[in-house]
Amino acid sequence: MKTTTKHLDIRGLAAALALAIALAVALVLIGTQPAQAQESGTAGSAAAGSAAAARGMEVALEAQRRDDGFADLTAAMTMTLRNRHGQESTRRMRNRTLEVEGDGDKTVVIFDQPNDVKGTAFLNHTHKVDDDDQWLYLPALKRVKRIASSNKSGPFMGSEFAYEDISSQEIEKYTYTFIGEEDVEGVPHFVIERVPVDPKSGYTRQVVWYDQAEYRVQRIDFYDRKNDLLKTLTYHGYNQYVDQFWRADRMEMVNHQTGKSTTLAWADYEFRTGLTDNDFNSSTLRRIR
Amino acid sequence: MVWVAGLTFASVWAPLHAAAQDILSGSITLEARGFPREALLPEQPDATLSLSGEPEIYLTWGDGVQSLTFTPFFRLDSSDGERTHLDIRELFWQIYGDSWEVRAGLGKVFWGVTESQHLVDVINQTDLVESPDGEDKLGQPMVNLTLLRSWGTVDLFVLPGFRERTFVGSDGRLALPLPVDDDNEVVERDVGYAARWFHTLGDIDLGVSHFWGSSRDPRFLITADDGAPALLPIYETIHQTSLDLQLTTGNWAWKLEALTRSGQGDRFYASVGGFEYTIGNIRRSGADLGLLAELNLDSRDDIQFGDQQVSATPFDQDLFVGSRLALNDVQDTQLLGGAVVDLGMGAVALFLETSRRLGDVWTADFEVRGFVNTDPSGPLYGVRRDSYGQFSLHYHF
């Protein structure tokens, strides 16, 4: 008798759980529909807007066109985090990136320092509009964990770089307005304002300086949700690789509101190393070093 | 003494590791536990100190395609002779090609998605003396072939050699209610086999697995070991088919693990499912807050044990609720707390885990586990006086 009731209980609860999950899935699916409609609506009206929008988009597209076809790259990253008292701490990572036709890039970041996170790997399949797909490999447990990626505005490794700052910069993630031309230390620049499409972005807008000669990003001002200037990112020591692709040796991010700053130094750039899709598969995180 | 040993060890390792950073890494941990309530048995201590280490040696050649990983582990415990132990967590050779990987040796494998219980994670035996949370695993002899295909990843395992679970000795806290007779254990099969298919379909990560071999969690018989009653672990041959599923969308991660197992009495079913909801960058502070809830179910009937009915599993009908706070600061401060409530008996297991980095090479963590409202027929009854606080200091090299 007892056995029967217990089995029924369990099945009832299991059914309730399954129903709850199904309902939640349905709710989430329904919930995303209007959001997408709204996004394309905003993009549509901005594009159709003014000549400034069209020219802003032109600059962004030209910058992207010049970086098309890099196929894949590997690089070493050193982050130096500085608080307002000048105390420093260092993070060392290695970056592997795969260019994906028609979608956002795939990136894996392998952590080497601090020692306690050594061997941890962060895999990101970025998308042009949708949320990125992200996995974390935790070497102590040998566990690959899919993580919620909606937190774009949070800090990366305690630094002044947010996840959205280091993620693949796709054209579709912003709407653009041409602000003007400006000479910075005698070098002519285009100045573009871009507004993140995603309402979960930490920024209302960004102002981007491109040098006119090579369409390289030289500076970005980030404005927070209250439209106050939050951070400035500057790019230093551009080098050209495989006769086409420009990459900065050093990126300096300064937070004007907290006085903290982060230097991100890049080294050992290699392009077209022959990485494949399987090197960016969540299953192969187990072998990554 | 242990302190001095630890510091000496650290100072010897530091220069060594600078020379061989890519080959040698790992950690050394000093752990102190305090138990505020009086023990059930006079020989059980109120406080323990222990030292453990897990160095890893990694050698690679052929442009990283082949590698050898060696990860020994040791613990020296001030009171429990069973907790003082040595293990080889990993000692395996690996080779991979464009769409395949082979591993052979002692290794560690993790399957699953949930937090309150790792229900479908069956390859490795639990090193239970390490922590009652069961997350520490013994190295498992294996040959593992991985095939990467457009329709998913297939993992095939041959598992020669069975490892018995480790149990806290009766002179240690967090012991089972009776001493474990680990000299006469029954192991039905030494060789196991397993297969797994895993695939990502957009927002869904899905795994389906089958395992055939001796069960990693034993059933117990009460026997007389030299006249005194003791628990005899029996590791029966099981067939276990399992599913693990996660749907990750927006701030939500919906998780489900389910299995069916035959070979330990009647075939039974068990599942754990729930969600983790993450609120990112709270008030622009950079901190993330995660809210977790999972329901654990198991169709096994209570078992007759001596003169009473007891649960066959700690997770027969249990609700886990918890919260995770990550400050995302330079020190990587994290906090995870929660409760597992037995919906049948009302017993509650509470826990809080916090961790923080100190400087560049040290981390500290503090952990509290409490066992409240325990019932004589419940799995927590044996540890009803063993609520504890634990402080650990880790040196990473």
**ipTM metric:** 0.91
Judging contacts by C-beta atoms under 8 Å, the chain B residues touching residue A154 are 280-281, 286, 288, 328
Contact status, residue B35 vs residue B29, Cβ threshold 8 Å: no
Pairwise CB contact (< 8 Å): A114 & B357: yes
Q: How far is CA A261 from CA A75, A89, A156, A257, B243, in A?
A: 22, 11, 13, 10, 46
Q: What is the pLDDT of residues A249-280, one digit of tens each?
A: 999 999 999 999 999 999 999 999 999 999 99
pLDDT at position A18 = 56
For the whole model, what pTM was predicted? 0.88
Pairwise CB contact (< 8 Å): B251 & A148: yes
Give dist(CA B107, CA B95) in Å, integer: 14
Q: Flag whether pLDDT at A75 surpasses 80.
A: yes
What string of DSSP letters covers B385-397?
T--EEEEEEEEE-
Give dist(CA A77, CA A269) in Å, integer: 10
List the single residue in B205, B328, B332 with the smallest CB-CB distance to A146: B205
Site from A151, A153, A159, A164 to mutate, B interface, most B CB atoms within 10 angstroms:
A151
| Residue B359: partners with Cβ closer than 8 Å, 6 or more residues away | none
Quick one: average pLDDT of B361-376? 94
Q: Flag whether pLDDT at B256 surpasses 50.
A: yes
| Residue A87: partners with Cβ closer than 8 Å, 6 or more residues away | none
The answer to whether residue A226 neighbours chain B at the CB level (below 8 Å) is: no
CB pairs under 8 A between A and B: 145
pLDDT at position A96 = 97
The answer to whether residue A8 neighbours chain B at the CB level (below 8 Å) is: no
Q: How far off is chain B from A56, nearest CA to CA, in Å?
A: 29
Q: Flag whether pLDDT at B13 surpasses 70.
A: no
List the single residue in A141, A148, A151 with the smallest CB-CB distance to B252: A148
Q: What sign does the dihedral A81-A82-A84-A87 (CA atoms) show? A: positive
Give dist(CA B333, CA B104) in Å, integer: 37
- Residue where the block lists tokens 């790019």: A235
Which chain A residue is nearest to residue B302, measuring alpha carbons?
A: A3
Pairwise CB contact (< 8 Å): B249 & A114: no
Quick one: average pLDDT of B321-343? 96
pLDDT at position B8 = 54
Judging contacts by C-beta atoms under 8 Å, the chain B residues touching residue A127 are none
Pairwise CB contact (< 8 Å): A282 & B205: yes
Contact status, residue B320 vs residue B351, Cβ threshold 8 Å: no
Burial class (CB in 10 A: 0-12, 13-18, 19+), B279: middle
Q: What is the pLDDT of residues A53-65, one digit of tens each?
A: 999 999 999 999 9
Contact status, residue A166 vs residue B266, Cβ threshold 8 Å: no
Judging contacts by C-beta atoms under 8 Å, the chain B residues touching residue A155 are 286, 328
| Residue B95: partners with Cβ closer than 8 Å, 6 or more residues away | B65, B66, B101, B102
Q: What is the pLDDT of residues B58-76, one digit of tens each?
A: 999 988 899 999 999 999 9
Contact status, residue B208 vs residue B243, Cβ threshold 8 Å: yes
List the single residue in B60, B248, B357 with the smallest CB-CB distance to A116: B357
Contact status, residue B43 vs residue B171, Cβ threshold 8 Å: yes
Phi, then psi, of A140 in degrees rounded to 5: -65, -40
Pairwise CB contact (< 8 Å): A142 & B108: yes
Site from A10, A27, A74 to mutate, B interface, most B CB atoms within 10 angstroms:
A10
Which chain A residue is nearest to residue B155, measuring alpha carbons?
A: A283
> Could you say which residues from 63 to 102 on chain A have a Cβ atom under 8 Å away from some Cβ of chain B?
81, 83, 89-90
Cis amide prior to A114 (ω within 30 degrees): yes
